[in-house]
Structure 1
Amino acid sequence: MPLLWLIVIVLVIAAAGYVLGRSRALSSAGGEIRGMHSLPSYYGSNAMMKSVVPAFLLLVVWLIAQPIWINMSVSGMIPESEVAEGSNLGLVMSEVRRTADGIDAATAEGLMTQTVANGSDPAAVTAALKDAGKIVTNELTAPILAAAQEWRAEQKNGTLFMTIAVIAIAVLGLLWGLKEAHADFRARNTVERGIKAILIAAASIAILTTIGIVLSLIFNTIEFFSLYPASEFFTLLEWAPSFSGRGGASALGILPLLWGTLYISIVALLVAVPIGLFAAVYLSEYAGPKTRAFAKPLLEVLAGIPTIVYGLFALLTIGPILLTVFGDEGTGWMQGQRAVMTAGIAMGIMLIPFVSSLSDDIINAVPQAMRDGSYGLGATKSETIKQVILPAALPGIVGAVLLAASRAIGETMIVVLGAGAAARLSLNPFEAMTTVTAKIVSQLTGDSDFASPEALVAFALGMSLFILTLGLNVLALYIVRKYREQYD
């Protein structure tokens, strides 16, 4: 049974539980609401919650655990001879899953042939799947084909058992809720406790998701470093992936990518910080109420523009302008439209509202009494801004700049379109370079499996970028908390 239909069935059972629970509670009180402990809706909600919550909880757990269980069961069927040098069991299991999915897709589309159904000749099955458009990357072997057939069988049985178990739990929950649907039952208390538990679970999703992201990065990074030495990854000055065997002749140094990331981010901050800070000072200290009400939302519109639009703007507008000025017709420093300056300027424009909005809020938090005291001592407006307001707001402004730097380091589309894909160590801002995020995209683009080195290196890059941005965020929060001034 398709997953969508299973969810619909559970929801129908839950809806029936609400109606039956409400009517049963009313009947037990003789139709008199005043004789019931709780309102009728609480009795219906109690039956509905007992139907849907355990069923969906079982469904989620089953969907997570079933692939893990099948993978552990089927992987034992793979002989060591199938794990070629430079490969691993994960790659072989990926081939098993692709084969099983190809057979399932051919079956669903009516392309199932007798050859595929029998599965007696691996070469014939490979050819049949390719003819059906369900491409198998390699020639199948007998153990892989047998493992794929076992995978399909266990997945089919697991789905059947899951459907039966989920519907049974939903029905049992319905009966439990109906049994409690009598006038003396404290339905409101039960429902409120259940809602509180659901809210706690919802609040825990963010924490669990963060933990899951970190663990996935860690485990896949460890897997990559089992194929490629970590010492070379962090010390080589060249990025030239050519995966063959266990790393083969690849040169996978992250330093050129980190340099491109930091260089483009510095250029972006040199654009965003002065403009954003000056805009914040003007809006908070000089602009009138009408001007501020018009200019601030208009400035923050920049934050709502998709980054792909900034990338196109960098490629089609900023790049040609810089090429005209610094290209062969000008100074000759720039050889193409894609360069560090192209991406840095576009990214800086994107960060302007980020810096200006945070700085504006921080400057406005400085008490008016400090301004009045400065004016009372004879200081001008500009002197008050330079000597009183900005020093008082400086910790918050520094924190805003560091947060903007974290945003710049994690940007991808502007870099892909504006900076190019060349991984190099150079001080020339008019040369094409690339960043960690751009290489993560390129390594995960294509048909390479997530167990292959081509994909695993992206997790190592992502882990390095995660640690870098996390450090910047922690530093920003430390500066803000340690040096911020709190005013009454």
Structure 2
Amino acid sequence: MSTLTIIFLVLVIGLAGAFLAYRYSRSLAAKDGAQLHSRPIYHASYVACWAMIPALLALMVWLVVSPIVIASDVRGSFPEGILAETSLTEDLAYGIVESLGSGLRVLPADERETITDATPVAELRELLNQRGVPIASASADWMVPLAIQLNGMQIFSRWAMTAVVVLLALGGAFWGYRNIAPRLRARNGVERVVTGALIAASSIAIMTTVGIVFSMLFETIDFFSRISPMEFFFGTEWNPRFSGAGSEGSAGSFGFIPLLAGTLYIGFVAMLIAVPIGLFAAIYMAEYADSRTRSVVKPLLEVLAGIPTIVYGFFALVTVGPFLRDLSAQISGLVTGDYTSFIQAQSVLTAGLVMAIMLIPFVSSLSDDIITSVPRSLRDGSLGLGATRSETIKRVILPAALPGIVSALLLTASRAIGETMIVVLAAGVAANLTINPFDAMTTITVKIVAQLTGDLEFNSPQTLVAFALGMTLFVITLCLNIYALYIVRKYKEQYE
């Protein structure tokens, strides 16, 4: 029985128990004028919780633990020394056994009964190939008994799980129904369950963050055990390639400075363009535009936020980059007579300009919502005292909206720092260290993708450096968040 079918059965049992509990609770209320502590709907929810929660928790635990136990038992049954005689690793051998076991379940019952421990793997492979199930050529005869064992254990585990979960659901529904009484504090129990569910939901973000940190932390520690942190954080050359087997320093150069400089430089150029335009657009829409203009302009701006970043990258590669290159060639020709472009098609300026176009909707939309949330009484008070509209905006509205605007700019900066596709196509992948905005540079995220592209094993500095880059970028973003929180708390004002 599939997992979805088991969940469906548990839900049906819970709903049936809730329906019976609701009817029984109403009958208690009507009988001799008994006064219930909780309403019938709480009694129904009480029985449903007892029917579903223990059963679903048992199902979740079984689905996690059962594969581990089965895999451990099958791996322990591997013939001694068999892996040493072949080029297979234990994980690969178990994967082949698992594929054979999955193939056995595809075969019809009559054909499956003919498969025994003595069946040659070639015969089993031929049967499975006829059913469209590919089997690795490295499979061997000793894997067939293990595949039969694995298949049997999985089938037994599935049926045992179904029986245990269904019995728990029925037992929980019976227990909850049996406890229904006029003075049962069903509402208190249901509210505790709801509180626990809310706490679990709110903990998902925390646990996700912890999982992200630890998933990068251990690989980062492994990387720094191979490469000196001083070389990484203060190096000015990025060339993580083997220079030759067995040669000194074959791991290459892992200088982080060019990547950090490119990330900050491109982000700074993008913010330098996007923030004034987006903020002025927000002020216009919030304070000057009429409702008809606002209803047209704001959706048009927000359309830009829905465009995939790869489209912006193509726009930079095909249009903006060649335009800046040709424009610089024309300017150079008019000034010096030499029509040599001084702006590369892939440059910091190209990436920053196109990224700014992408960021404008974030700045304008968020800032507009923040400015319009400033109380109307502040505007009326300022105008009543004789201030002009522009003075009201500069001295009253913007200071009041400053904490929210800072948060919007932080969100925009985080988006700029984490952008990848625009940088790949508009700024290139060369890790240059330069202050010339007309030259090509690259960012941290681009190199993370580059180091994790292809068929890789996580046992070399060239691959592990991606985790070090990701961890460093995480720390940088965290510091930005902490600083922005400090700014928000410092300038935050309370309005009645």
Match of 2:341 among 332, 335, 340: 332
Match of 1:265 among 264, 267, 291: 267
**Any residues of structure 2 matched to 1:8-47 within 5 Å, and which?**
8-25=8-25, 29=28, 35=34, 37=36, 38-47=38-47
Alpha-carbon offset, residue 354 of structure 1: 1.9
When residues 139 and 340 of structure 1 are mapped into structure 2, their CA distance, relative to the original with a 3 A threshold, is farther
User: Aligned partner of 2:363: which letter?
Assistant: V
**Any residues of structure 2 matched to 1:345-356 within 5 Å, and which?**
345-356=353-364
Match of 2:285 among 283, 294, 299: 283
Alpha-carbon offset, residue 56 of structure 1: 1.8
Match of 1:309 among 308, 311, 316: 311
When residues 35 and 450 of structure 1 are mapped into structure 2, their CA distance, relative to the original with a 3 A threshold, is farther
- Where does residue 194 of structure 2 map in the other structure? 195
Alpha-carbon offset, residue 424 of structure 1: 2.9
Q: CA RMSD in A?
A: 4.8
Q: Take 1:433 and 1:124, find their aligned partners in 2: how far apart are those partners? A: 58
Checking the alignment, whether the CA contact within 8 Å between 1:24 and 1:182 is kept in structure 2 is: no
Deviations 1:418-472 (A, max 9, x none): 3333333233434443322233334444443567766544332221111111111
Indicate whether 1:468 and 2:476 are aligned.
yes
- Where does residue 336 of structure 2 map in the other structure? none
Gaps of 5+ in 2: 334-338
Deviations 1:129-187 (A, max 9, x none): 99988686x97899999999998887666655544443332232122123224555443
Checking the alignment, whether the CA contact within 8 Å between 2:101 and 2:150 is kept in structure 1 is: no
Indicate whether 1:426 and 2:434 are aligned.
yes
Q: Take 2:289 and 2:473, find their aligned partners in 1: how far apart are those partners? A: 39
User: Aligned partner of 1:58: which letter?
Assistant: A
Q: Take 1:93 and 1:185, find their aligned partners in 2: how far apart are those partners? A: 56
When residues 404 and 178 of structure 1 are mapped into structure 2, their CA distance, relative to the original with a 3 A threshold, is same
Gaps of 5+ in 1: 84-90
- Where does residue 214 of structure 1 map in the other structure? 213
When residues 26 and 278 of structure 1 are mapped into structure 2, their CA distance, relative to the original with a 3 A threshold, is closer
TM-score, normalised relative to structure 1: 0.76
**SS of residue matched to 1:322:** helix
Q: Take 2:478 and 2:382, find their aligned partners in 1: how far apart are those partners? A: 36
Alpha-carbon offset, residue 307 of structure 1: 2.9
Q: How many residues align?
A: 474
Q: Take 2:209 and 2:265, find their aligned partners in 1: how far apart are those partners? A: 29
Alpha-carbon offset, residue 347 of structure 1: 1.6
- With 385-394 and 473-482 compared, the bigger mean Cα shift is at 385-394
Report % sequence identity: 48
Q: Take 2:460 and 2:290, find their aligned partners in 1: how far apart are those partners? A: 59
Checking the alignment, whether the CA contact within 8 Å between 2:217 and 2:471 is kept in structure 1 is: yes
**Any residues of structure 2 matched to 1:27-426 within 5 Å, and which?**
29=28, 35=34, 37=36, 38-65=38-65, 95=92, 98-104=95-101, 106-107=103-104, 161-182=160-181, 185-236=184-235, 237-242=237-242, 249-326=251-328, 331-336=340-345, 338-363=346-371, 365=374, 367-368=378-379, 371-372=382-383, 375-376=386-387, 397-426=405-434
Deviations 1:377-405 (A, max 9, x none): xxx65566556765665565445433321
Q: Take 1:218 and 1:292, find their aligned partners in 2: how far apart are those partners? A: 47
Q: Take 2:71 and 2:268, find their aligned partners in 1: how far apart are those partners? A: 46
Checking the alignment, whether the CA contact within 8 Å between 2:379 and 2:392 is kept in structure 1 is: no
Checking the alignment, whether the CA contact within 8 Å between 2:117 and 2:145 is kept in structure 1 is: no
Indicate whether 1:438 and 2:446 are aligned.
yes
When residues 459 and 65 of structure 1 are mapped into structure 2, their CA distance, relative to the original with a 3 A threshold, is farther
Alpha-carbon offset, residue 407 of structure 1: 1.8
Q: Take 2:340 and 2:121, find their aligned partners in 1: how far apart are those partners? A: 63
Checking the alignment, whether the CA contact within 8 Å between 2:427 and 2:442 is kept in structure 1 is: yes
Checking the alignment, whether the CA contact within 8 Å between 1:26 and 1:183 is kept in structure 2 is: no
Deviations 1:46-79 (A, max 9, x none): 2221121112223334444556667888888999
Q: Take 2:143 and 2:245, find their aligned partners in 1: how far apart are those partners? A: 21
TM-score, normalised relative to structure 2: 0.75
Alpha-carbon offset, residue 473 of structure 1: 1.4
Checking the alignment, whether the CA contact within 8 Å between 1:374 and 1:384 is kept in structure 2 is: no
Checking the alignment, whether the CA contact within 8 Å between 1:340 and 1:432 is kept in structure 2 is: yes
Q: Take 1:168 and 1:468, find their aligned partners in 2: how far apart are those partners? A: 52
Deviations 1:297-323 (A, max 9, x none): 432333333333333333343233334
User: Aligned partner of 1:436: which letter?
Assistant: I
Checking the alignment, whether the CA contact within 8 Å between 1:283 and 1:296 is kept in structure 2 is: yes
Alpha-carbon offset, residue 107 of structure 1: 4.4
Deviations 1:226-284 (A, max 9, x none): 45544433333214245999995243333332222222211211220121122233334
Greater C-alpha radius of gyration = 2
- With 29-38 and 52-61 compared, the bigger mean Cα shift is at 29-38
Alpha-carbon offset, residue 39 of structure 1: 4.5
Q: Take 1:56 and 1:245, find their aligned partners in 2: how far apart are those partners? A: 54
When residues 361 and 11 of structure 1 are mapped into structure 2, their CA distance, relative to the original with a 3 A threshold, is closer
